[in-house]
């Protein structure tokens, strides 16, 4: 796991071997301890180089080991032994040096990096901190402000930035190991005292207290309840104010708290869930590893409104040629300008040339004849989409994949209007499509595995968290959102205010509560959908019967606001008021509060005190309950799929792992008990009726989340 060789006569070369990223497993750590000792005790060896095989230095700790009791030599004394060595040890960094990998390199006396290498301490993203001395050595090496930035964000830096910050001593475009060996020879015999980072204080920093106060305030704001970034600041503070040994003790204490917190478990679950969704499977038995994607070189987007523009940018940024089609001339001109602007800004941020020539604009659908894949993003109108799909089927070369970005229409119905339904899938992007991470790839019963594989691969190329889901109203994300929003409306009827509901949800960790979110995305969107469903009844009917529609409790509050022209931020009024249309700062609106009072009086509703706990239980458990229905229906293959959708597309706080993980943490029996409680109080609300899967899981002893899949399969086979 760590190979030893002597090179250039007097350099001990240690190569970490643990594919794919040379993670620091117990065997690798043992290998390092053994080989370092061997090099140090060999009188012919004057200096040592540590590198990793296959062009990767080291990806860090072996996360799989977090779940079990650690065995093998611990990391801290191992790194300490390297730092205290009396022969120079040089880290040859190719590929990446992340987490424990960078901590190992910081224990070395010198660091040489390849120009394409990336370095970082991303522990915070797993709910942890760099606890093998990283939080103590990095500030000593590069100063407190830069170390705080890297450790609290977990961001990776390029070799060039690492050189500028002083993390590495040299950057090479050539063979890194050869450069490190040459360097090691040149420093043999030199005093190592100045190179032992732990023995130095942090560089002087004026007004340290003010700096930490400012950073802590910022971190608290952006952390939305996550504790790891705060612990990271505390650890760096220890580095800046305490001697090394005491700083290490503080690092250990903070790590112990984080390690046992539910948040670290949730964040590590997210890490694995994001990988698990790539291994998709369909109810037909088709799977990711047996379905070959088709190559996509050229794609088309039809309809260049809000979504089509973002999708065009996302496609062009992957290097594809894109034909962008829009029928309205004015829209086409505006879209061209907007897309070019987005491409230019995106390219500037990434330091590359904008892919402006990659997009060809046209008003004529005939222009898409030779593309491999089309994404349709015209108005949400089934007749229009059907027409577009029929045109595409006639125009496109055989085998072209036809994808729709519909948010609510039936993908199967669209597929059935084409001669080749197996070529049709949904690619449901989220606004703005070039920014938002989530992509739901929606398959129908007739979608071919190859079509799903192609859309999933394209999503991955675009850097999306792509999740394959079955076809149903709202797919996974929006279907679960519906009961969540409805509960929020019911809570207003019963006495809550938008401020109270939003505050409870924002304290839970959502970036925006349901009402601020609704103001941002526009109240008219849901109004149109409810109108289409025949739920909206204009007028002033009062009493309970006016709030029962299609046999279930219905709140017309959103409709009444829309009738007043209150569509949210775009009209300057919604659940809140704004300084002017388009403004973003939500302010308390006295009109809304007297409107709510009058509404309750008209309907004979008596406002009662509602606390945060009830808001969370009613909104979140209703959403989770729908998640169980989705699993039971086979629309999502597993809880990880739902959780990735919610974390990457709906603002569910990552440190809470996603709704299904959260239910598992809270305890399935408790979720069931609270749903039953609320269902008894509100029998006319079907979404509070516990799903039969939830009941069956509780009856079978509430298996842990990673066993739900087996339980669902077993329960289904018993039906
Ligand atoms: P939009 O109204 O901004 O844009 C639609 C565009 O399609 C317009 O520019 C229109 O001129 C063009 N168009 C209409 N018929 C056409 C045709 N035959 N050929 C070419 N272009 C045509 O609509 P938006 O918001 O971009 O939505 C598009 C689709 O994406 C809808 O199905 C919507 O449900 C879905 N969607 C929307 C999301 C959003 O947040 N806006 C999120 C996810 C999906």
Q: 306 C-alpha to center of ligand 1: Å?
A: 7
CB atoms within 10 A of CB 377: 27
- The average pLDDT across 106-120 equals 98
Taking the C-alpha atoms of residue 19 and residue 470, their distance in angstroms, rounded to an integer, is 35
Are 369 and 397 in contact by the 8 Å Cβ rule? The answer is yes
Model pLDDT, residue 713: 78
- The average pLDDT across 491-504 equals 98
Would you say the CB of residue 526 lies under 6 angstroms from ligand 1? no
Would you say the CB of residue 360 lies under 6 angstroms from ligand 1? no
Q: 411 C-alpha to center of ligand 1: Å?
A: 16
Model pLDDT, residue 618: 98
Would you say the CB of residue 404 lies under 6 angstroms from ligand 1? no
Name the residue at shortest CA distance from atom 31 of ligand 1: 380
Model pLDDT, residue 197: 98
391: helix, coil or strand? helix
Would you say the CB of residue 363 lies under 6 angstroms from ligand 1? no
- Sequence-ordered strand ranges (E) for 358-404: 359-362, 373-376, 401-404
How high does pLDDT run on average in the chain?
95
Would you say the CB of residue 326 lies under 6 angstroms from ligand 1? yes
Q: 364 C-alpha to center of ligand 1: Å?
A: 16
Structure tokens at 86: 């009396």
- Residues written for the chain: 719
Structure tokens at 208: 């340290």
Q: Is the pTM of this model over 0.90?
A: yes
Radius of gyration of the chain, Cα coordinates, nearest whole angstrom: 29
Q: 378 C-alpha to center of ligand 1: Å?
A: 4
For a pocket test of ligand 1, which of 300, 302, 305 has the largest count of ligand atoms closer than 8 A to its C-beta?
305
- The average pLDDT across 616-638 equals 97
Taking the C-alpha atoms of residue 371 and residue 174, their distance in angstroms, rounded to an integer, is 40
Would you say the CB of residue 362 lies under 6 angstroms from ligand 1? no
Atom of ligand 1 nearest to the CA of 387: 18
For a pocket test of ligand 1, which of 301, 303, 364 has the largest count of ligand atoms closer than 8 A to its C-beta?
303
- The average pLDDT across 681-708 equals 95
pLDDT bin (cut points 50, 70, 90) of residue 538 is confident
Model pLDDT, residue 70: 76
For a pocket test of ligand 1, which of 378, 407, 521 has the largest count of ligand atoms closer than 8 A to its C-beta?
378
Residue with structure tokens 């594919």? 19
Name the residue at shortest CA distance from atom 8 of ligand 1: 305
- The average pLDDT across 363-392 equals 96
Model pLDDT, residue 709: 85
Model pLDDT, residue 696: 94
Model pLDDT, residue 647: 98
Q: What is the 3-state secondary structure (H, E, C) of 199-231?
A: HCCCCCCCCHHHHHHHHHHHHHHHHCCCCHHHH
Q: Active-site residue numbers? A: 103, 123
- The average pLDDT across 250-275 equals 95
pLDDT bin (cut points 50, 70, 90) of residue 589 is very high
Model pLDDT, residue 712: 83
Atom of ligand 1 nearest to the CA of 381: 32
Q: 312 C-alpha to center of ligand 1: Å?
A: 13
pLDDT bin (cut points 50, 70, 90) of residue 349 is confident
Q: Is 80 exceeded by the pLDDT of residue 716?
A: no
Would you say the CB of residue 328 lies under 6 angstroms from ligand 1? yes
Q: Is 90 exceeded by the pLDDT of residue 545?
A: no
Model pLDDT, residue 167: 98
Taking the C-alpha atoms of residue 383 and residue 52, their distance in angstroms, rounded to an integer, is 58
Sheet holding 47-52, edge to edge: 2-7, 11-16, 47-52, 89-93, 110-114, 170-172
Model pLDDT, residue 719: 58
Taking the C-alpha atoms of residue 57 and residue 253, their distance in angstroms, rounded to an integer, is 29
Are 204 and 79 in contact by the 8 Å Cβ rule? The answer is no
Q: Is 80 exceeded by the pLDDT of residue 403?
A: yes
Model pLDDT, residue 475: 97
Q: 682 C-alpha to center of ligand 1: Å?
A: 38
Taking the C-alpha atoms of residue 407 and residue 649, their distance in angstroms, rounded to an integer, is 13
Model pLDDT, residue 718: 67
Model pLDDT, residue 543: 76
Q: 241 C-alpha to center of ligand 1: Å?
A: 56
Would you say the CB of residue 304 lies under 6 angstroms from ligand 1? yes
Question: Angle at CA 609, nearest 5°, toward 605 and 615?
Answer: 95
Would you say the CB of residue 314 lies under 6 angstroms from ligand 1? no
Would residue 565 be called left, alpha or beta, if left means φ above 0 and alpha means ψ between -120 and 50 degrees? left
Q: Is 70 exceeded by the pLDDT of residue 415?
A: yes
Q: Is 80 exceeded by the pLDDT of residue 540?
A: no
pLDDT, one tens digit per residue, over 351-360 is 889 999 999 9
- The average pLDDT across 655-680 equals 98
Model pLDDT, residue 155: 96
Model pLDDT, residue 36: 97
Q: Is 80 exceeded by the pLDDT of residue 174?
A: yes
For a pocket test of ligand 1, which of 301, 308, 411 has the largest count of ligand atoms closer than 8 A to its C-beta?
308
Would you say the CB of residue 324 lies under 6 angstroms from ligand 1? no
pLDDT bin (cut points 50, 70, 90) of residue 274 is very high
Model pLDDT, residue 673: 98
Model pLDDT, residue 542: 78
- The average pLDDT across 145-169 equals 97
Atom of ligand 1 nearest to the CA of 302: 20
Q: Is 80 exceeded by the pLDDT of residue 210?
A: yes
In the chain, % helix, strand, coil (3-state, to 5) comes to: 55, 15, 35
- Closest by CA to 313, choosing from 324, 298, 325, is 324
Name the residue at shortest CA distance from atom 25 of ligand 1: 306
Are 147 and 138 in contact by the 8 Å Cβ rule? The answer is yes
- The average pLDDT across 632-656 equals 97
Q: 376 C-alpha to center of ligand 1: Å?
A: 8
Model pLDDT, residue 64: 76
Burial class (CB within 10 angstroms; exposed 0-12, middle 13-18, buried 19+) of 502: buried
Model pLDDT, residue 66: 73
Would you say the CB of residue 305 lies under 6 angstroms from ligand 1? yes
């Amino acid at each position: 796991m760590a190979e030893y060789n002597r090179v250039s006569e007097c350099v001990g070369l240690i190569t970490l071997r643990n594919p794919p990223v040379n993670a620091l497993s117990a065997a690798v750590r043992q290998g390092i301890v053994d080989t370092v000792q061997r090099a140090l005790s060999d009188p012919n060896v004057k200096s040592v180089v540590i590198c990793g095989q296959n062009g990767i230095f080291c990806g860090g700790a072996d996360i799989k080991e977090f779940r079990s009791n650690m065995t093998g030599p611990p990391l801290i004394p191992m790194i300490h032994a390297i730092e205290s060595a009396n022969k120079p040890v040089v880290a040859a960094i190719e590929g990446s040096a992340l987490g424990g990998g960078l901590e190992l390199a910081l224990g070395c006396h010198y660091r040489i990096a390849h120009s394409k290498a990336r370095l970082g301490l991303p522990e915070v993203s797993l709910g942890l901190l760099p606890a093998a001395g990283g939080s103590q050595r990095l500030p000593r090496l590069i100063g407190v402000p830069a170390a705080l930035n890297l450790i609290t964000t977990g961001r990776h830096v390029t070799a060039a930035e690492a050189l500028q910050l002083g993390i590495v001593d040299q950057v090479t475009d050539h063979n890194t190991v050869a450069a490190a060996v040459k360097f090691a020879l040149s420093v043999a015999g030199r005093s190592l005292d100045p190179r032992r980072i732990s023995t130095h204080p942090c560089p002087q920093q004026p007004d340290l207290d003010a700096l930490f106060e400012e950073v802590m305030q910022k971190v608290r704001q952006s952390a939305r309840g996550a504790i790891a970034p705060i612990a990271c600041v505390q650890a760096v503070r220890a580095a800046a104010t305490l001697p090394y040994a005491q700083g290490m003790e503080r690092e250990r204490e903070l790590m112990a708290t984080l390690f046992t917190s539910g948040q670290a478990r949730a964040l590590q679950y997210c890490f694995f869930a994001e990988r698990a969704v790539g291994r998709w499977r369909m109810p037909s038995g088709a799977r990711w590893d047996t379905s070959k994607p088709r190559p996509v070189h050229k794609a088309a987007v039809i309809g260049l409104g809000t979504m089509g523009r973002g999708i065009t940018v996302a496609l062009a940024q992957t290097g594809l040629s894109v034909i962008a089609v829009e029928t309205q001339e004015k829209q086409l001109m505006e879209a061209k300008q907007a897309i070019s602007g987005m491409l230019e800004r995106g390219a500037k941020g990434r330091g590359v040339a904008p892919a402006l020539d990659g997009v060809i604009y046209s008003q004529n659908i005939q222009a898409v004849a030779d593309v491999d894949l089309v994404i349709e993003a015209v108005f949400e109108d089934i007749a229009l989409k059907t027409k577009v799909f029929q045109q595409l089927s006639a125009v496109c070369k055989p085998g072209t994949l036809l994808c729709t970005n519909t948010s609510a229409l039936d993908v199967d119905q669209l597929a059935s209007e084409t001669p080749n339904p197996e070529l049709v899938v949904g690619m449901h992007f989220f606004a703005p499509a070039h920014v938002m991470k989530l992509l739901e790839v929606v398959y129908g019963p007739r979608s071919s595995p190859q079509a799903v594989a192609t859309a999933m691969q394209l999503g991955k190329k675009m850097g999306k968290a792509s999740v394959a889901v079955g076809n149903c109203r709202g797919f996974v994300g929006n279907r679960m959102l519906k009961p969540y929003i409805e509960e929020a409306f019911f809570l207003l009827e019963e006495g809550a205010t938008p401020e109270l509901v939003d505050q409870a949800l924002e304290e839970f960790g959502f970036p925006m509560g349901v009402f601020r979110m609704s103001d941002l995305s526009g109240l008219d969107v849901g109004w149109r959908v409810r109108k289409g469903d025949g739920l909206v009844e204009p007028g002033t009917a009062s009493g309970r019967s006016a709030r029962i529609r299609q046999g279930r409790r219905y709140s017309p509050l959103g409709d009444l606001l829309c009738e007043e022209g209150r569509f949210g931020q775009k009209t300057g009024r919604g659940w809140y008021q704004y300084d002017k249309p388009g403004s973003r700062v939500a302010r308390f609106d006295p009109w809304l509060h007297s409107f709510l009072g009058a509404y309750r009086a008209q309907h004979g509703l008596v406002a009662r005190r509602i606390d945060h706990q009830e808001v969370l239980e009613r909104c979140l458990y209703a959403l989770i309950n729908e998640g169980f229905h989705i699993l039971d229906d086979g629309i999502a293959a597993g809880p990880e799929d739902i959780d990735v959708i919610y974390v990457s597309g709906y603002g569910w706080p990552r440190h809470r792992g996603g709704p299904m993980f959260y239910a598992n943490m809270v305890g399935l029996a408790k979720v069931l008990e609270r749903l039953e409680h609320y269902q008894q109080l509100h029998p006319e609300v079907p979404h509070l009726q516990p799903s039969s899967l939830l009941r069956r899981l509780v009856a079978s002893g509430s298996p842990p989340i990673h066993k739900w899949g087996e339980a669902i399969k077993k329960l289904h086979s018993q039906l």
